A and B are shown apart, each in its own frame.
Chain A
Amino acid sequence: MTSLLFMLLLIPLAAGGLLLLFAGASQARSARWIAAVGSIAVLAMSLALAGQYRQLPQSSGAVGVASPVQPKVEFRKPWLTMAGEEGQRMTLEFHFGLDGVSVAMIVLTALLTVACVLISWEAIRERESEFYAALLILETGLIGVFCAFDAVLFYVFFELTLIPLFFLIAIWGGPQRRYAAVKFFLYTLAGSLVTLLGLVTLVGSAAASGLASPCSLPELAAWYRDNPLPQAWQIGVFLALSAGFLIKVPVFPFHTWLPLAHVEAPTAGSVLLAGVLLKLGTYGFLRLCLPMLPMACLAVGLPMAAILGVVGIVYGSLCALVQRDVKKLVAYSSVAHLGFCMLGLFALNSEGITGGVLQMINHGLSTGALFLIVGMFYDRYHTRMVDDLGGLANRLPLMAAAMVFVSMASVGLPGLNGFPGEMLSLAGMFRRNSFYAAAGALGLVLGAWYLLTMLQSVFFGPLKEPALGGESAAHHSVGDLSLRELGALAPIAIAILLIGVRPQPLVDMIRPDVEAVARLYEGRRAYTEIAVADRSLATEQQP
């Protein structure tokens, strides 16, 4: 299985390198085909990986012995060993592993990359081979993040994804691409440098107190379960780590780079950015903060994530409501949806975390598909403005059907994938703190409002199409979804339906990992709750 994992990392990298090497010489056609074959091969292998992973026996580790972060499959090879004078050692490792969450995220990445290659087939008309190279290298970086179980290796892949995405936005983006790309790059880099500070503290203090391989996440998590840091330290480290993750997610008020980057990015860039890259933030919380810093997560993380999450849900939804640019609308809806994800993760119980992880996957599928469809009608009309478009269902019935389907998934219609994720997130949060959950539930209504308004004015009503350079005849050539576009959407739609109708296999796959983390929080109450309870007790006693 590790060989399959390495193939997953190496095939996109090799294909990307190949494209880059022959960037000058190769034809656009061959570049597309190389990218398509490469990404489809990766998808096939990731599905095989998921299949094999499900065959593995459930981990038999006794409760309390296994680490809170425990991959079922591991590959370790030393990278850099540093020995101190007093016998402490610091080992960086090429430590790859797989657990349920990472397998799910890898499949999602592979699925969306295939769609990205297909959607760019005709939309990208210059420097094709470099484009596909950047796309495939980005895929490598993303898969790497999800299977890295060494703290430094995780950070390496986390940072590595910046480079190809920077080029994707800066070269093939919209009119303001340069500003958007630079802002995205510097903003996230600045955040992740603070994260590095937190990571170094986390690893360094374990190393100083004698853990032999402090960079290995499973060992680090087990170490901190048995020897927790003092609370003040935990809070400091938590805040440092969060800096990069909050920007990446992005949580309000750190989201300002996101709408800009989304609007300027080419469709493929938006799809991967929304679908997978934003999840690196929440994944980082799940891998580093939740298992290692339980006290800080309860004391600071829970109120912070819940308040910012709720604010993000409401604010993102309201912003989406007033956008005239459909792509920007979808971008703001990401801010809102990831608010649910944060609510779920920081419910800190198994329902909530399961919901958060499901929401990560579901948001990737539905928002990825939304961006794909937006890109498809942009290719046809060269506008994304709500005011310029109307009644597209008359001309493009298939696309309208797909859009309605995906929007329903995004809104959280029962029977489609959005529902179980949001449901579990809110249920988990309700058990932790009913107020936050109730406030978050408000976002469900708002989400339906902006998406349905957009659907109504763009796809229904009388047909309204923008003038294409004065030639009205050109509209007759505007056709419905081509086979290629259907090929990009169909797998995502199938996944949406499958998860909606039967989420159980997916939940079963991630459950052991989620429960391992949630076990840390069993029997602990949130500090805020205790404080509130004490105060109410005091007020009762006073009269």
Chain B
Amino acid sequence: MTTAIEQLNAAVYLIAPELILVVTVCVMFITGPFFVTESGVATPGLRKRWTALSLTAIGCAAFVWYTSTRTAPAGAGPFRIDELTFYVRGLTLAAGAVLAVLFAEQIDDGHAAEGQACLLAILAGVNLTAIANDLVGLFLALELVSIPTYVLLYLPRRGAANQEATAKYMLLSIFSSAIVLYGMSLLYGASGTTNLAGIMAARSQHPEASATLARVAAATLVAGLSFRIAAAPFHFYAPDVFQGVSSAAAAMLSFVPKVVGFVAILRVLPLAGELWPAADSGDGASIRTLLAALAIVTMAIGNLLALRQQHLHRLLAYSSVAHAGYMLVGLAVGPASSPISGVGALLFYLAAYGVTTIGIFALLACVAGKGAPLQTQGDLAGLSRVHPAVALGLAICLFGLTGLPPTAGFTGKLNLFFAGWSDGTPLGRTLAIVMAINAAIAAWYYLRLIAVMFLDPPAAEGQPGKLFLGPAVAGAACSAATVLLFVAPQPVWNAAARFSALASP
């Protein structure tokens, strides 16, 4: 009989990449204040060194991630390493590197240490969400993402809008965490253990005993986690928060919480009910219907409200809501027996969406810099004359969000489409059709942005502003990746689909 501590010791090597990140976080938090005077003044350029440190940490974590074991038996231990972990780690570390570069330009020297440390903590939290094999561990990982996010959002201190955004995000996030916790407690009540494998075993032994309880738990968990993926009707914070925060923070918010939310849903929902059951089981069907309804409402609300937006960040917030809807299509379809699994398509779409959306925010940041002159779509007018390369990159990313070739967005939508349609059930077909309609609606507002950039004359004559190097590099990398993921999607698809092949209970 081993104690919990011994178990933990045995399992520590499983989370080596996250340990590297967390240790760096500690170093940054502890030593950071010594480089800043009491009045908050730091040597100019300090932020570049912190960025270099955090990139180094991400690089080391990535090396360990790539070389270490890819699967380990879950059992009763606190961690489980499977294909989902592998995929999520790769995704977050890649996105994290880009985000670190973005944040370098957006936080002043005095707060750079805290900013980079928060970012690394968030990345570690995302990975741990995918690794946790215990309800408590899962919840801690979720909070390891949330709490640094509050700090990160507030660090630039850009006035009332920023304050409002942070406060709104914090309150609603805590609220949603409480709902998740409630759902978890119900699961614990139904099975008597917090270990995920244990819950699964208990549920399969007595499937009838706690069916109602599990169903309520499933609904609660979906509701709580929907906040993170910004699914309607839990999306209300998104536009206000996106509007109030810097481009880098908005880039982070549009991508990282989505990964966390979907990974957590993929981990806990199979416990609550048979998520993707055989056709005759009624229990899972109700969860599927719930997810499908959520997907349809989310797509419709996101796209319809985005049509009217003038503020860029608000528009992208609603677009992020709409994309959550597309991804929910994959979740609702599940790993069906058709050649393309819904979960695989969802995970692939996460990557495609991440590249394009971070790319857009990076390119906006590279024109605007630390200030925020790029607010409404009118500010984009004539961008193709002033900064043709930036306009081209933005056009690629926007076409990516629209789902047009030659971008990753096309491949991602195509896979979701295939998954939904070849699922063979009326539910899947309906979802595919609704998705097609929504893709057509969405084309309108993305196209409007492109039209403003390429057709309108520049608002103000005069010297074009200087481009910021870091975000420019990040944006260029993302636009290139958007095209690359279209031309050569196989490696990413393999990594995404390997998990979904195992996902069915």
Contacts and interface: CB of A to CB of B under 8 A. Distances in A.
Contacts of A152: 414
A162 B418 CA distance: 23
Nearest to B399: A163
A460 interface: no
Given A156-B406, A182-B451, A197 B432 contact: yes
A20 interface: yes
14 contacts: A83-B501, A84-B341, A85-B341, A88-B339, A90-B339, A163-B404, A166-B447, A167-B454, A178-B451, A193-B436, A196-B414, A197-B433, A200-B414, A204-B421
A89 B340 CA distance: 8
Nearest to B404: A159
A110 B432 CA distance: 37
Interface string A186-211: 10011001101100110111011000
B389 to A, nearest CB: 8
Contacts of A157: 405
Nearest to B418: A200
A159 B440 CA distance: 13
A299 interface: no
Interface string A301-320: 00000000000000000000
A62 interface: no
Contacts of A208: 338-339, 422, 424
Interface in A105-124: none
A384 B421 CA distance: 49
A171 interface: yes
B486 to A, nearest CB: 8
A24 interface: yes
A196 B454 contact: no
Contact of A204 (B341, B422, B433): B422
Interface in B421-440: 421-422, 424, 432-433, 436-437, 439-440
Select the residue from B384, B399, B418, B437 with max chain A CB neighbours within 10 A. Answer: B418
- Classify the interface of chain A: helix, strand, loop or mixed: helix
Contacts of A200: 414, 417-418, 421-422, 432
B497 interface: yes
A80 interface: yes
A78 B454 CA distance: 36
B335 interface: yes
CB-CB nearest 10 A-B residue pairs: A204-B422, A84-B339, A90-B339, A156-B405, A88-B339, A190-B440, A193-B436, A200-B421, A80-B489, A23-B388
Contact of A85 (B337, B405, B415, B424): B337
A201 B432 CA distance: 11
A162 B404 CA distance: 9
A194 B338 contact: no
A6 to B, nearest CB: 14
Interface string B464-505: 000000000000000000000000011001000100010010
Chain B interface residue bracket vs A: 35 or more
Chain A interface size band reads 35 or more
A156 B410 contact: yes
A130 B455 CA distance: 12
B127 to A, nearest CB: 26
A160 B405 contact: yes
A85 B451 contact: no
Nearest to B456: A178
B443 A85 contact: no
Given A156-B405, A170-B455, A201-B421, 17 more contacts: A20-B388, A24-B388, A80-B489, A84-B339, A84-B340, A84-B341, A88-B339, A152-B414, A157-B405, A163-B404, A167-B454, A178-B455, A185-B443, A189-B443, A196-B417, A204-B338, A208-B339
A82 B340 contact: yes
Contacts of B433: 197
B406 A160 contact: yes
B420 to A, nearest CB: 9
A130 B421 CA distance: 39
Interface string A164-175: 001100110000
B418 A90 contact: yes
Contacts of B410: 156, 159
Contact of A80 (B335, B384, B493): B493
Interface in A333-381: none
Interface in A69-96: 78-86, 88-90
A493 to B, nearest CB: 36
Interface string B29-59: 0000000000000000000000000000000
A432 to B, nearest CB: 33
Given A167-B454, A171-B455, A207 B422 contact: yes
Per DSSP, are chain B's interface residues mostly helix, strand or loop, or mixed?
helix
A152 B411 CA distance: 10
Given A197-B432, A207-B339, A81 B490 contact: yes
B436 A194 contact: yes
A197 B436 contact: yes
Contacts of B489: 79-80
A80 B490 contact: yes
Nearest to A78: B490
Residue among B384, B415, B436 with most chain A CB within 10 A? B436
B229 to A, nearest CB: 24
A141 to B, nearest CB: 9
A89 B392 contact: no
B497 A83 contact: yes
Contacts of B422: 200, 204-205, 207-208
B175 interface: no
B344 interface: yes
Contacts of B13: none
A20 to B, nearest CB: 7
B338 A182 contact: no
Contact of A90 (B337, B340, B404, B454): B340
B451 A89 contact: no
A203 B340 CA distance: 12
B497 A82 contact: yes
B444 interface: yes
B33 to A, nearest CB: 45
A166 B404 CA distance: 13
Interface string A380-397: 000000000000000000
Contacts of B340: 82, 84, 90
Interface in A35-53: none
B309 to A, nearest CB: 17
Contact of A82 (B344, B417, B437, B454): B344
Nearest to B337: A86
A45 B467 CA distance: 42
A78 B444 CA distance: 33
Nearest to B455: A170
Nearest to B502: A85
Given A24-B388, A156-B406, A193 B337 contact: no
Contacts of A159: 404-405, 410
A189 B440 contact: yes
A67 B25 CA distance: 62
Contacts of A182: 444, 447, 451
Interface string B371-392: 0000000000000100010001
A155 B340 CA distance: 19
B361 to A, nearest CB: 22
B300 to A, nearest CB: 16
